[in-house]
Amino acid sequence: MHKHSIAELAAGLRDKKFSSRELTEAYLKRIAAHDGALNSYVTVTPERALAQADAADAVIAAGNAGPLTGIPLGQKDIFCTKGVRTACGSKMLDKFIAPYDATIVEKLDAAGMVMLGKLNMDEFAMGSSNETSFYGPVKNPWDPTRVPGGSSGGSVACVAAGLAPIATATDTGGSIRQPAALTNLTGIKPTYGRVSRYGMIAFASSLDQAGVVARSAEDAAYVMQAMSGFDPKDSTSVDRPVDDLVSGLGQSIKGLTIGLPKEYFADGMAAGVRARVEQAIAELTKLGVNFREISLPNSPLSVPTYYVVAPAEASSNLARFDGVRYGHRAEGAKSLEELYKRSRGEGFGTEVQRRIMVGTYVLSHGYYDAYYLQAQKVRRLIYDDFKRAYADGIDLILGPTTTDVAFKFGQNSDDPVAMYLNDIYTIAANLAGIPAMSLPCGLVDGLPTGFQLMGNFFAEARMLNVAHQYQQVTDFHTQWPTEYAS
Amino acid sequence: MIMPAGWEAVIGLEVHCQLSTQSKIFSGSAIAYGAEPNTQASPIDLGMPGMLPVLNVDAVKKAVTFGLSVSAKIAARSVFARKHYFYPDLPKGYQISQYELPIVYEGLLDIELDDGSVKRIGITRAHLEEDAGKSVHEGFQKSSGIDLNRAGTPLIEIVSEPDLRTAQEAVAYLKKLHQLVVYLGICDGNMQEGSFRCDANVSVRKIGAPKFGTRTETKNVNSFRYVEKAIEYEIERQIEVIEAGGSIRQETRLFNPDTGETKAMRSKEDANDYRYFPDPDLLPVVCTDEYIDAIRASLPELPEAKRARFVTAFGLSDYDAKTLTSSRELAAYYEAVVAASGAEPKLCANWVATDLLGALNKMSKGIEESPISAEAFAALLKRIADKTINGKIAKDVFEAMVAGEGTADEIIQAKGLVQVTDESAIIAAIDDVIAKNPQQVADYRAGRDKLYGFFVGQAMKATQGKANPDALNRLLKERLAG
């Protein structure tokens, strides 16, 4: 049952082949059996799940089922869930139970989906390997000695291992796409402002965007459809109708022009990955897509720009965790200053502290112009690069998602810069605010690799359609890690 | 205070003015004063994880209203920024404020000095921001409480140019500003509750010195009197320090109302680096010309215009006009009285400014709490105008109205106070007085004119004060002439 697509699960529920309760119980059983090794769930919520499943079964019985009614999912532990702990991978929030739901939690609950639990992640979404989580690293289902990527490591591991049919995730600099690529999944980060950030714990507000990791573009389209839309509670969400993502999947992609940024195909990509990406280009060419080399001249500046902007915003967003109203509070502090220092020193892990330090520095008096302001200017140039490409007749942009396959635990953990370079291909989309996704393009030495599509603003439907058409003629996305195949 | 010869002070004020919106600037919580602690604090106000601010458009409208009323420029695009510092009553670890691009800039306010001259004070800027919460120290053992009801209350911070030179000018500016924001209906002006708070930047220099001296900032001086005292203290202190060969440290000081002194709180060196940057959770505030024009069209008549109109339209003295336009409610009351009574505007002005305000003052009430409505008050003045009662009787009727004995007409009826205009009755009373006082009549007729007042008094008394004064005078003169 765990290999079914969302559409197949919906049909099975509708045709009474199985109930949502049975489906939910089957997933809970798989979680119990496998997650000890994977560590993808931080919190499993069987009672809440079964109650939702029973409610969904009643809706199905009444003939009122929607496309997602009764279908289980995992929620990244960055989305606040009323009554269920939301820890965001941090000791700081180890005991935090929000009195509200994030908008996307509300929306997916309303769509009838069944939340199985909350998924592990890098602390405050800061990391590319899931090694910064207070709850321990998540293992890559394809090779337990390797990282699943990050920060949405729990999201990808649980879907890749069949411990949830689909999962929510967030992407600030590649946190959906990089782990999706490393675990053979399809992951989409929509346009900035397409999905509400209300109730999603902020890392870098101007870059954070929620999306999903799924086993196909079609699965992703179903859930993205339900998640997307304007939210008056998020001033940066965009008041614009959501395209019909699912019915847009059947269109021909013949004659589309996809740009290949020469900067993305320069040195730096592992040979195996390059071969796989080139093969994907060949497959799409067969479908009638035209390819054209383009230039995104400022893209080499993405990583340094990001590592000024994101820590700056993070240092500000994380200032609220002071031990006063909620979250970790140090015991026995003798003064207010000591309370702050110790609560934050104890509650935040090393990587989070590093980014708060960097962010505080770049916003400081005397450094602001040289770092933060300068980074914002470069960010504008990066945005202009994409604007120009799309204005120049490019429908989509294609490139690698990662430089290589999943790396081993500990390989980059002592070298933050090497770790940051994992995001080299994914960061630009966040800085520009455009939608982007990663999808599987085959294994290299038994490990998955993916390629990336980047769309114009709000062109999620077109991007998903191209991905879907590609997945109609390829079967990379249907491959399973051996251990979890059955 | 007498300024030592050769010295002058340079003063600029920063005024925090709470906007009287229904809800907070970035959340839907109410902002009523005096509620139980933390009952008006939502997850947004508490700075809970994942919470996002949504701008209250009414706060923007009120800020623009203020800007237009001081002839300021309204920014087509203004930006909210985060101002960072750690304090328990600041839930997010930053205050959302405006920094580089405030919504209002380059305004001015004309103040009137004691000698009647007018001085123009520049307003550098007025920006929107959220208020912080309050730390509560009473009733806690070895700890402090935090009340976040106030956190997120909308404020405009109005920053003046350093154009003020004396404590009196500063107070005149502050009073003018206070009157204006209350007039505009954007602030309740309640200084005790902190709706209108002032920080004073003060420096001194030798007259003619090319540069300003080092300034100190005295925080939260929350009455007009304290502002005057704090500034005077600061001027004297700074001159003393400099004359003794010392120098002024740039620092923040706190005024102690009990001693009338200011005390150093923190120096510039310990000041926070606020690390301002544009708030990525909020879009820039865009004010189009149409939006600004619509607000301009709905601006109420401002105090100065109203005062000038009262002089020309009602023939009032500038003094009376100033008194009657001191608040929007009082001016409206007066205009309603004039309209409803049909009495002379000047007569109405005397009654409202002297009798009514006097009575309210005794009761420590404002015009909006007056026990006599404008309509009821007009009914009294109408009876003077139509000669039903004379002015003297009217004072008694007014007293009775204040005491809640009924409407003017009810009181006049009940007490039989209708003016006697029947000349035969007045003549009878006069004749009676003449008959009873032959000696005085003889003296008067012999040339003791001063006795006339005695006869008026006696005759009035004989009519229980109800005689029409004009008729009584005329007839009394006739009869005394013999």
Of the partner residues B82, B273, B282, the one whose CB lies closest to the CB of residue A316: B82
Numbered residues of chain A with Cβ closer than 8 Å to any chain B Cβ: 79-80, 86, 88, 93, 96, 98-100, 102, 197-202, 204-206, 232-236, 312-313, 315-316, 318-322, 324-326, 336, 340, 360, 363-365, 368, 372
Domains detected in chain B: 7-293 (no CATH), 318-415 (no CATH), 423-481 (1.10.10.410)
In a domain, residue A289? The reply is: no
ipTM score of the complex? 0.96
Structural contact between residues B367 and B330, judged by C-beta atoms closer than 8 angstroms? yes
Of the partner residues A200, A324, A368, the one whose CB lies closest to the CB of residue B146: A324
User: Letter for the amino acid at B460?
Assistant: M
For the segment B155-187, what is each residue's pLDDT rounded down to a tens digit? Answer: 999 999 999 999 999 999 999 999 999 999 999
The pLDDT of residue B482 is above 70? no
Q: Determine the pLDDT at residue B237.
A: 96
The pLDDT of residue B299 is above 70? yes
Residues A470, A442, A213, A252, Cα dihedral to 10°: 0
Domain span at residue A227? 6-250
Residues of A in Cβ contact (< 8 Å) with B280: 204-206, 236, 313
Q: Indicate the pLDDT class of residue B389, thresholds 50, 70 and 90.
A: confident
Our count of domains for chain A comes to 1
For the segment A342-362, what is each residue's pLDDT rounded down to a tens digit? Answer: 999 999 999 999 999 999 999
Spatial CA neighbour of B414 closest among B402, B433, B401: B401
Q: Determine the pLDDT at residue B472.
A: 85
- A90 catalytic? Reply is no
CA atoms B185, B191, B196, B200: torsion sign: positive
Q: Determine the pLDDT at residue B325.
A: 94
Question: Chain B residue closest to A324 (CA)?
Answer: B88
Give the mutation candidate from A235, A342, A356 for the B interface (greatest B CB count, under 10 A): A235
In a domain, residue A156? The reply is: yes
Options A151, A152, A196, A228, the catalytic residue: A151
Give yes or no for B83 touching A (CB within 8 A): no
Contact A319 B92 (CB under 8 A): yes
Distances (CA, A) of B413 to B192, B381, B397, B407: 45, 15, 10, 10
In a domain, residue A260? The reply is: no
Options A20, A128, A129, A175, the catalytic residue: A175
Give yes or no for B438 touching A (CB within 8 A): no
In a domain, residue A37? The reply is: yes
The pLDDT of residue A414 is above 80? no
Q: Residues of A69-78 as b/e, b for ≥16 C-beta within 10 angstroms?
A: bbbbbbbbbb
Q: Residues of B443-464 as b/e, b for ≥16 C-beta within 10 angstroms?
A: ebeeeeeebeeebbebbbebbe
- A175 catalytic? Reply is yes
What is the model's pTM? 0.90
Residues A184, A481: Cα–Cα separation, whole Å: 9
Of the partner residues A201, A340, A360, the one whose CB lies closest to the CB of residue B49: A201
Structural contact between residues A312 and A200, judged by C-beta atoms closer than 8 angstroms? no
Position of tokens 């000791």? A91
Contact B52 A102 (CB under 8 A): no
| SS3 label, residue A408 | strand
Residues of A in Cβ contact (< 8 Å) with B46: 325-326
CATH of the domain at A68: 3.90.1300.10
Q: Indicate the pLDDT class of residue B465, thresholds 50, 70 and 90.
A: confident
Contact B277 A86 (CB under 8 A): no
Contact B275 A80 (CB under 8 A): no
Q: What is the DSSP letter of A311?
A: H
